[in-house]
Every structure is written in C-alpha cells, then in structure tokens.
Chains A and B, each alone.
Chain A
Amino acid sequence: MLLPTTTLLLLTLAGVPVQAAPQAATPALPIALERRLAERLGARVGDTLAVGREAGAPEGRAVVTAIYEPAADPSVITRRDLHARFHLPDFTALLGAPDRVDRFGVGLAPGVPPDSAARELNRIAFGFQASPSAEIASESSQTFRVVSRFHDAIAIISVVASAIFLLCIMLLKVEERRRDAAVMRFTGIRRRTIFAALLLEAVLVAALGSAMGVGLALVAGAATNAYYQRFFDTTLIFSAVTPGILRFSVLLSLGLGLGAGALAAWRLVRTRPLVLWGRE
C-alpha cells in the first residue's frame, strides 16, 4: 500500500491562489481546473496561470491541461469551494513542504479489506490517521440521515393526514349519493351492486389521483432540480422520483382510495333505504 505519486489530489484553492499569467520561458506545471473555477477565471485548456501559496504572490506558472466536472457531493455543496488539481510532486514542491499533505487517498489491491488495511496503517502511522472510505462517508452522511428521518416523519404525517382527508372526501361524496342509493335500492338494485359501483368509482378516482400525483411529482422534481442545480451550479440530484417511490406511492394511493371508498360504500349500503331517502 504505497502512495501513488501520480495521484491527483483534490485541494481547495484557498491555499493555492491562482491567477491568469502571461506565457514565460520556465516550464509550467500541469494543472486541472474544476469547471466552475475555469469559468470564474475565464481560463481554457492551454492557458497559463500564475500560482502561489499566497494571493498576489505568484511563485510559479501552471498550464491548464484539463477542465473537469467534479463529482457532485452534497456534503460540500454549501461551502462553494473551488478546486484545482496538481500532480502530487508538483503540488508539494509548490507548497515548499514535500512531506506534508492534508489528505490523500490510497488505492487498495482487489480483495484487500479496507478495515484491516486501515488498522495496519494506523499501527505504523506517525502524524496521520487512516480511515476506510466507507467510515468517512458514513460520518459525513450523519446530517443527511437526520434530514432523511425528518423527511420520513413529514411523509408519514402527510400520508396519515391525506388518508383522513381522503376518507372524509369519500364519505362526503358518498353522502351526496344517499338519494341515488335509496332509489337504486327501491328499484331492486342489490346492495352488493351498489357497493361494487361505489368501490369501482373510488378505484378510478384513486387511479386518476395517482396518475395526477405522479405527474405532479415528476414536474415538481424536475423544477426543484432545475432551480437548485442552477442555484448551486451543480449536477447534484436534489429530488429523485425513483421507480420504487412511484410504485410505493401508487400502491399506497390505490390502497387508501380503495379502503376509504370501501368504508364509505359499506356505510351507505348498510343504511336502510328509507333512511337514505330521508323519511326516517
């Protein structure tokens, strides 16, 4: 497990100020710029930049060899950091501290367990701490887990409130049919026929509602993504309507509609026709 010398390190630009510089005779370091940084500097591939440890104190030149789109990372999105990448030897030389790095990644050979590798590294470590990437990801995701639990709680409250609302609507809709149901009973239509008709109507309404809900979710998700991707200038997906979510939502909606419809219809057909008619 050796540190690959060609590894490109991700570094914040705060420690490495860059600015556009005229061409000079000394060899320029290769540098890769994050797209947003390149856009802010107005730099393109082939341009030469002055780089240094402090702002306004250029110590060398770098030529832009690549402009890259960084991997979307929700944990840093609000920090608005801008990044550039050097080859490690160039970077350490630029910093004047060849034996100092803040972070670096270690690639493991296939089959090597990260936990045992980290333990082994920590056993011999001096001045650094090795952690498996999964552990780091888990720690950095704590905030999102809490947010996710809030979302779950909001979703559950919404579903329960919607179910109650739906039931009330179905009961009211069925109440409007009291006289129709009474007339149907008077004219010899069986309870089960009326029940089935009301249930079918409830399912159709629920299916229509589901379709509209799916459409609304897709549109709202697309609008949310469009707004925040533009706001944060990122490719992160802020709202994902997955097939699993769609399946769950549609099934839940149909189930609730069916349940509410069945309850309302059962209540109606159990009532005596003359009571429905309003005489009693």
Chain B
Amino acid sequence: MPLLVATALTKDYPMNGEVVHALRGVSLTVAPGDYVAIVGPSGCGKSTLLQLLGGIDTPSAGSVALEGTRLETLGDSALTRLRLTRLGFVFQRFHLLPVLSAAENVELPMAEAGLPRDARRARARELLRYVGLEGRAGHRATQLSGGEMQRVAIARALANRPALLLADEPTGELDAATGRGILDLFRRLNDDGATIVVVTHDDRLAGEAGRVIHMLDGHIVDETRGAGR
C-alpha cells in the first residue's frame, strides 16, 4: 500500500489580477521507505507541491491521501494533528525557536502530542544523539551553527515518529561541507527506514535519493533513478 498518493493536483494563485498556475495536474505516489527528490528550476512548483503533500495548503483540484486518509476531507484540527503525528517538516532556514534549547525544540512537538515529560526527554536525547548533537542539547538555537541548527530541526521533525519526512531545500542555507553532513544524515535516515520527500536545487542531495522527480512549469516532466533506494 502506498504511503502517499497525490492525484491530479492543480494549484492556482490569483496574483495582480491574473491567475498563476503553480501546479497543472501533478500525480505522485510515494511508497514506504522511498527517498524522493523533487528538482527543477525556481518557480516550477516544487515547494507548492511539497506544501500540498504536507497538508499545509489545499489544492485547487485533485487530492492527496496519506496512509489512505484524504487530506482535503480533514478539518483544521484533524489536519493539524496529522501534521503533528504523521508528518515531519524540515525547512531551508531551520526555524528553531530561539528562546528554547536544542533539546526543548525537539521536545516541543512531543509535548504538543501529549507525551509524558520523561518519555520526551529520553526521545529528545536519543534523537540528538542520532543527529550527532548529544553534547549540544542544552544550547540555545542561537548558540548553534547553521549545520547544527539544521540537525536539530531534523531531530524535531522526527520527534513524533512521522510516517513521512518532508524537506524544503534543507541544504540551501549551508556551505558545501556542512551540507554534506546533512546529506549523509538523510541517507542514514532513509537506510534506517524513513520515507523522505525532499525539494532541492542541490544536485548532490538529489543524487542521494532513490527517485528524482523533475518538474517544469507545474508539471512532472521526468523521473530518474538516483543512487539511493
């Protein structure tokens, strides 16, 4: 059974009195354990597609089903809950809460999900160890480097054991060496069973994926195999 099924997605935006067609009938299926990279030039609809897949935005037409649940049938509360428990998001600019420590940033989604304090602390420690930041748990986000912040953001995305990890340009703000570390981390996550969909301009990151989906002008124009699963 596919984990994610997107069917004939279209997304239109009104802009300055005109309609911008960001997506024009995109269909996509993601199986559990897939590592999918979505690539294409700026403005081709990559990020819009990711937002629709993650239930952040609603399509103008078409549907998205995660684990058999059609997102468009869910109300705001149910969709929020689904994003909390079944999806993990990684953003280009990390977006950690600066007043919280690394561990507290990781704990936040678990606290929201109602996990007991001891359990979420143990899970946060485990995740920070996984991303190589065991010794930085008590540091505030502002005290971390870009690469470290992105690792914390990845740990935060994994906090509630999501079915699908969605990442939007996760190496876009990082230098080559630091980005390499994030690539390795995504590779390791996928090897450990995580399902990942990543939007990227980074050829190295796309090359790590098992499937590389090429987009242009709101269409999927090609799909190729990468080095990964």
Interface residues of A (CB under 8 A from B): 179-180, 183-191, 193, 273-274, 280
CB-CB < 8 A to A191: which residues of B?
Answer: 80
Report the bound CA distance from A188 to B87 in whole Å: 9
CB-CB < 8 A to B84: which residues of A?
Answer: 187-189
Which residue from B13, B56, B109, B157 sits with its C-beta under 8 Å from A273?
B56
In the assembled complex, 22 residue pairs joining A and B whose CB atoms fall closer than 8 Å, in A order, are: A180-B95, A180-B97, A183-B91, A183-B95, A185-B80, A186-B54, A186-B56, A187-B83, A187-B84, A187-B89, A187-B109, A188-B84, A188-B109, A188-B113, A189-B80, A189-B84, A189-B108, A189-B109, A190-B77, A190-B112, A191-B80, A274-B56
Binary contact readout B8-43 vs A (1 if CB under 8 angstroms, 0 otherwise): 000001000000000000000000000000000000
Which residue from B83, B108, B112 sits with its C-beta under 8 Å from A186?
B83
Within the complex, the shortest CB–CB distance from A196 to chain B, in Å, comes to 11
CB-CB < 8 A to A273: which residues of B?
Answer: 56
CB-CB < 8 A to A274: which residues of B?
Answer: 51, 56-57
Q: Give 13 new A-B contacts, CB below 8 A, not counting A187-B83, A187-B156.
A: A184-B97, A186-B54, A186-B89, A187-B84, A187-B89, A188-B81, A188-B83, A188-B85, A188-B160, A189-B84, A190-B80, A193-B112, A274-B56
- Name the residue of chain B whose CB is nearest to the CB of A189: B112
- Name the residue of chain A whose CB is nearest to the CB of B159: A187
Query: Which B residues from 61 to 89 make CB contacts under 8 A with A?
Result: 77, 80-85, 87-89
Q: A274-B51, A274-B56, A274-B57 are in contact. Are A187 and B97 (CB under 8 A)?
A: no
- Name the residue of chain A whose CB is nearest to the CB of B84: A188
- Name the residue of chain B whose CB is nearest to the CB of A188: B84
Within the complex, the shortest CB–CB distance from B135 to chain A, in Å, comes to 25
Within the complex, the shortest CB–CB distance from B51 to chain A, in Å, comes to 7
Q: A180-B95, A183-B91 are in contact. Are A188 and B56 (CB under 8 A)?
A: no
Query: Which B residues from 43 to 66 make CB contacts under 8 A with A?
Result: 51, 54, 56-57
Report the bound CA distance from A183 to B113 in whole Å: 16
Report the bound CA distance from A193 to B109 in whole Å: 11
